[in-house]
Chains A and B, each alone.
Chain A
Amino acid sequence: MTSTIGRSTAAALLLLPLAGCATAPPQPQGMAPPRRPITEFLRPGETREAANPIAIYDPFERTNRAIYKFNAQFDQYVYLPVVNAYTSVTPAPVRRSVSNFFNNLEEITTFTNSVLQGKVEKASPTLFRFIINSTVGLFGLFDPASHLNLPRQDEDFGQTLGYWGLGNGPYLVLPIIGPSNLRDATGMGVDLGTDWVLLQQLPSDVRDDLFYDLLFWGLWPIDARYQIDFRYHSTGSPFEYDLVRYFITKSREVKIRN
């Protein structure tokens, strides 16, 4: 499972800070200011950033915005057409089982990180879910646990780091993966690395099987996109980048607190 995702994450982490250094000041010099400039609205001593109610620390904004556009185009020309093809050739119950299967593998991440945060109330239902769904639920293809009042929890290493007090760090838009920040991108790297180590424990004839490759290199990314409703530029706002940045960041804050 050293998928492209893991690698591109690492590459992005290396590249982004460098590219970010090239970020230019927001207003080119010598240009006439607009009729309603920001300075008109600032209270005494207030900074421009403070005047924006949805500002998020984003020192690499220009690079992030460029990657946001790349992601939107990748979505439009590659990712969504593939997902749509997948949707049209598979019946809904099959797609649900595929999602269940990958979600079940994710329980390992949730369990580990619930433990790392000392959250017994999340760790124990997650453990039971994994055991029940992996057995009665046929390797996770079905989700009987949800019917037993064991709802899915959601923890990852980014949340664990946040729980122990680590801040967001700079906002990052990762290629293909999308919005993140330095802490959560690092956390995702750790989670994926853990998954990879665990999957190495499978017998080698399983891992050498073509089916195994198709599963983790093909079906997994397709299902991941399939499970997301978000469509680029469907907000109809020229400020979509700013809005997504804000909502994602707040959403992570809520998850870390819970």
Chain B
Amino acid sequence: MFLAHRLAAPFGVDLPRVVPLPMTRPSIALDPPGGRHGPSRRQLLGMAGLLALGGCASSAGHAPTTLAPADVAAASAPFPFADPWVATVVGTPAELRAVLPDGPAPQRATLERFPGRAIPEGFWYYDGGLTYSTLLQERPAPLVFVIAGTGADDRSRLMILLARTLHAGGAHVVLIPSPSHANFIVTAGSTFMPGNGEQDAADLLKVMDAIRQRLAGRIQVTRYDLTGYSLGAWHAAFVARADAARAAPIGFGRVLLINPPLSLYHSIQQIDAMLYRGLPQGIDGLDRFLARLTDHLAYAVGPNDPLDFSGQNVVLELYQRLQPSDESLATTIGLAFRLSTTNLIFTSDVMNRSGYVFPRGQEFRSTTPLGDYLAVALRLSFTDYFNDLFVEHYAGGGLTRQDLIDRSDLRWIGGWLAGQKQIGLITNADDVILAPGDLDGLREIFGDRASVHPHGGHMGNLAFWPVVEQISGYFTA
């Protein structure tokens, strides 16, 4: 038993948090390749100190609010990382995070969307259906549906953060896994082929309807709201559109898109490029990259100065010790995304019996060795999935590759979105998933309903207290 407890915390960071992160932020910082260093720790601390001072000066008169950290200096500091790669990986330092009241934890429940669906034994743990979470109020309140980012489920850290924020603001909260998560694909996807905004929205609405029905006797709902981050924000836009077109719509009162891609296709290209920035030999260099990471972690947790991994600033401390280059950080982010597309491609393939990476005639069992398929799926990008499977699947409906690319863009429903006063946007000017021009595209659609922060990368500032307060205020004001 001793062994088990020592072993189960790889690198001291619990695995579920490290591995399935994508479109959230990776929670381990990688090593610098020899010689290429980012700012030194001292520089970084100096920078943070200066920023903190600067913040004091600039925000005189700013009234502290309930979510602000107790430390006055910290409460007035701006977001500390101007480098979007650092922001995306490291996130918000503990002293700048919103202070949310202690409340109950979200309760998990499962939903059988397709009773009797044949699920391969290799996915036995999804037999119960789709797992979602609720965090409810005792009194009548608005209900906010939250859609997770790429490959994330209702337990992702960002989902829990949003749940606590919205619940503290007085709302019922329902957390729904991303349609790109294996659990959703297997138990709630009608095509096993995520990534099509309209199709995913239809599946999401069916899930939301079922959950609404289930909650009907238990809680009183005064209004329905909707939000999501990253890919989940993109989904939220399509859900709002699809719902409005229904005969009996939910009728979302307020919708907030947090760091969405403008064009899913563009963002896929960005993310693929990121992965290779720190891998000069391509994916074949990945084992070397991972081996170097192990070396540097071994160094970082050296014998005389062990890192306390239970601390709140684990990633920040690792970052400060390892001082990874932008290339390594970009590869880390790309790798987290790649892992979720690996999961997505394999799951979609097995469920569709496409014979793409997994032999069509083979049964997927919990005992099936998967090394070869993992090796292949890791080498495939989301673009490969798009070109090889997605386009083929939707060709039956008469859609060309270009049609599908056009429809992966929020501008496809841009005219409608532009006219919807209840739909707002929060993003960062330096969001790393946006291609050149994408930010302008978002601004054109949302106009003055777009709130663009200068720094934060992709989701790096979600825990930053002014952002948390802004999100909370959007639904409570």
Question: Which residues of A come within 8 Å of B, CB atoms?
Answer: 3, 5, 26-28, 31-38, 40-41, 43, 48-49, 51-55, 61-62, 65-66, 68-69, 72, 106, 109, 119, 121-122, 151, 153-154, 156, 158, 176-180, 184-185, 187-188, 191-192, 220-221, 224-225, 227-239, 241-244, 247-248, 250-255, 257-258
1/0 per residue, CB under 8 A from A, across B293-314: the answer is 0100110011110101000000
Distance, CA A191 to CA B372, complexed state (A): 37
B125 to A177, Cβ gap below 8 A?
Answer: no
Q: B343 interface residue, CB < 8 Å from A?
A: yes
With A41-B376, A239-B370 already in contact, the answer to whether A254 and B290 are too (CB < 8 A) is: no
Which 6 A-B residue pairs are closest in the complex by CB-CB distance?
A247-B10, A224-B1, A53-B287, A234-B16, A251-B10, A52-B375
B11 to A250, Cβ gap below 8 A?
Answer: yes
Distance from B173 Cβ to chain A, minimum over Cβ atoms (Å) = 20
With A41-B379, A156-B6, A247-B10 already in contact, the answer to whether A69 and B374 are too (CB < 8 A) is: no
Distance, CA A31 to CA B151, complexed state (A): 31
Distance from A41 Cβ to chain B, minimum over Cβ atoms (Å) = 5
B361 to A31, Cβ gap below 8 A?
Answer: yes
A65 to B183, Cβ gap below 8 A?
Answer: no
Contact for A191 among B2, B9, B122, B287, CB less than 8 A: B2
B367 to A32, Cβ gap below 8 A?
Answer: no
| B residues contacting the other copy or chain, number (CB 8 A) | 74
Q: B100 interface residue, CB < 8 Å from A?
A: no
B294 to A26, Cβ gap below 8 A?
Answer: no
Collect the chain A residues with CB atoms within 8 Å of residue B182's CB: 236-238
Distance, CA A26 to CA B355, complexed state (A): 16
Distance, CA A181 to CA B373, complexed state (A): 24
27 contacts between A and B (CB under 8 A): A28-B362, A34-B356, A34-B360, A35-B388, A36-B380, A38-B373, A40-B376, A41-B379, A43-B284, A51-B375, A53-B283, A55-B371, A65-B367, A151-B306, A184-B3, A221-B1, A225-B5, A229-B8, A236-B153, A237-B19, A238-B123, A238-B182, A238-B343, A238-B346, A238-B370, A252-B7, A258-B301
A121 to B372, Cβ gap below 8 A?
Answer: no
Distance, CA A65 to CA B284, complexed state (A): 27
- Name the residue among A28, A68, A188, A234 with the largest chain B CB count within 10 angstroms: A234
Closest to A176 in B: B4
Collect the chain B residues with CB atoms within 8 Å of residue A238's CB: 122-123, 182, 343, 346-347, 350, 370
Collect the chain B residues with CB atoms within 8 Å of residue A43's CB: 284
Closest to B350 in A: A238
Collect the chain B residues with CB atoms within 8 Å of residue A35's CB: 354-357, 388
B375 to A224, Cβ gap below 8 A?
Answer: no
Given A35-B356, A51-B375: 15 more A-B contacts, CB < 8 Å: A31-B362, A32-B355, A49-B371, A65-B369, A69-B367, A154-B6, A229-B9, A231-B16, A235-B20, A237-B342, A238-B343, A238-B347, A244-B15, A247-B18, A258-B302
A236 to B20, Cβ gap below 8 A?
Answer: yes
Distance, CA A124 to CA B207, complexed state (A): 58
Distance, CA A250 to CA B303, complexed state (A): 17
Distance from B220 Cβ to chain A, minimum over Cβ atoms (Å) = 29
Contact for B290 among A54, A109, A178, CB less than 8 A: A54
Collect the chain A residues with CB atoms within 8 Å of residue B376's CB: 34, 36-38, 40-41
Distance from A245 Cβ to chain B, minimum over Cβ atoms (Å) = 10
Distance, CA A54 to CA B368, complexed state (A): 17
B15 to A235, Cβ gap below 8 A?
Answer: yes
A230 to B371, Cβ gap below 8 A?
Answer: no
Collect the chain A residues with CB atoms within 8 Å of residue B366's CB: 65-66, 68-69
Contact for B371 among A156, A242, A250, CB less than 8 A: A242
A36 to B356, Cβ gap below 8 A?
Answer: yes
Distance, CA A251 to CA B213, complexed state (A): 46
Distance, CA A158 to CA B4, complexed state (A): 12
- Name the residue among B7, B20, B153, B369 with the largest chain A CB count within 10 angstroms: B7
Collect the chain A residues with CB atoms within 8 Å of residue B306's CB: 151, 153, 258
Contact for A230 among B14, B155, B302, CB less than 8 A: B14
B357 to A247, Cβ gap below 8 A?
Answer: no
Distance, CA A72 to CA B126, complexed state (A): 13
Collect the chain B residues with CB atoms within 8 Å of residue A254's CB: 11, 294, 297-298, 301
B356 to A5, Cβ gap below 8 A?
Answer: no
Collect the chain B residues with CB atoms within 8 Å of residue A32's CB: 355, 359-361
- Name the residue among B1, B286, B342, B370 with the largest chain A CB count within 10 angstroms: B1
